[in-house]
Structures are given as structure tokens and as C-alpha cells.
Amino acid sequence: MEKTFAPRTDLSKYDNSWYQPGGSFKRLLWFICGRVFINTYLPIPTQLKIMILKLFGARIGSQVTIKPKVNIKYPWFLTIEDYVWIGENVWIDNLTDVRLGKNVCISQGAMLLTGNHDFTSTTFDLITKPIVLEDGAWIGAKSVVAPGVTVHSHAVLAVNSVATKDMEAYSIYRGNPAEFIKTRVFKK
């Protein structure tokens, strides 16, 4: 069977001018502060990081831990509830809202990606969708959560896995794309 490929991607027509995540000065100021205080290996105390994130509009609960070299695109799109742990080299690429529920753990090198491109469009249009990690969710090291995904209560995404669809509560997922492996059961 012969395939016909008429349309082609034309990035010269790419236009995301509709996407306005904040004023230019605000984004520039955040870029500088984020690199100096958040996305660094300097031993900046978590409380100072939280104060700076809040100054830029993040909503953050109590007892939150933010390890070194965390990259947060736009803090004004970030909500973090109580007792959350964010590991080294985590990248929260929040072009739109990201909400982390209570007792969420995001392990080293994990990525939360709220943006993508429409590969069916010749102009490769930007698409943004929020991410929600409900209470007790755990995102394993070097894992990726794709745009629009909700990780329901106490679900686990295993190391180096990719969540492209919602994850059911108290379930463990592994692979690329991540598939259900088994139910998460707590020892007493």
C-alpha cells in the first residue's frame, strides 16, 4: 500500500502569540531569581526558596521540601499543599496550572510537562493542559508526567516511566507509556 504525504510542517508559520503567561518584566525577574535561588546547587534554605516562590505567586502549604536544582517555569501557575517533597533536578515545566496535593513526592530528575505541540497541525501549534498530583502520589526518579494527566490519590509512577493518561488511585504504573502493574498496598 502506498502512502501519500501531502501536508508538511511549516514552522515559519508557528505562532503562539495567544499564549501570555505573564508580563515580560515579571518573566525576566523570575528567570533571574529562579536561577539564583531555586535552580541552583547553592545551599539555599527551603524556607527562603518558598518565600521567593510565594513572592512570584506560588501557593505553598507547610512542611514543604525543595531540594537543589529544581526548575520551575512559572511559579504563579503552581500550587503545592502540605508535606510535599520535590527532589533534585525536578523540572516543573508549568506553562499552565500544576497542583500538588498533600504528601506528594516527586523524585530526582522527574519532569512534569504541561505543554506540547499539535503534531496534526502544519503550524505545530502549542497545546497546554494542567497536571494534578493528588494526595500521596509518588512520581519516581527520571519519570515524566505528560500534559493533562491526573495522578489520583496515592498512585505511583515507577522509575523512568512516562504517564500519558490518568493514573487510578492506589495503583502502581510502570513503562513507556506507563501501564498498570499492581495495586499499592500499605504495610501496617
- Supply 102's cell numbers: 498533600
- Residue identified by cell 531569581 is 33
Nearest to 64 by CA among 39, 87, 43, 89: 87
- Supply 94's cell numbers: 508549568
**What CATH number is given for 23-183 in this structure?**
2.160.10.10
Domain boundaries, the chain: 23-183
What pLDDT, on a 0 to 100 scale, did the predictor assign at position 1?
Answer: 65
What pLDDT, on a 0 to 100 scale, did the predictor assign at position 45?
Answer: 97
- Supply 9's cell numbers: 510542517
Measured CA distances, 109 to 51, 52, 86, 161, 183 (Å): 23, 22, 10, 12, 25
Q: pLDDT 10s per residue in the chain (188 long)?
A: 667 667 888 999 999 999 999 999 999 999 999 999 999 999 999 999 999 999 999 999 999 999 999 999 999 999 999 999 999 999 999 999 999 999 999 999 999 999 999 999 999 999 999 999 999 999 999 999 999 999 999 999 999 999 999 999 999 999 999 999 999 999 98
pTM score of the predicted model: 0.93
- Residue identified by cell 498498570 is 180
What pLDDT, on a 0 to 100 scale, did the predictor assign at position 8?
Answer: 87
Nearest to 90 by CA among 156, 145, 168, 13: 145
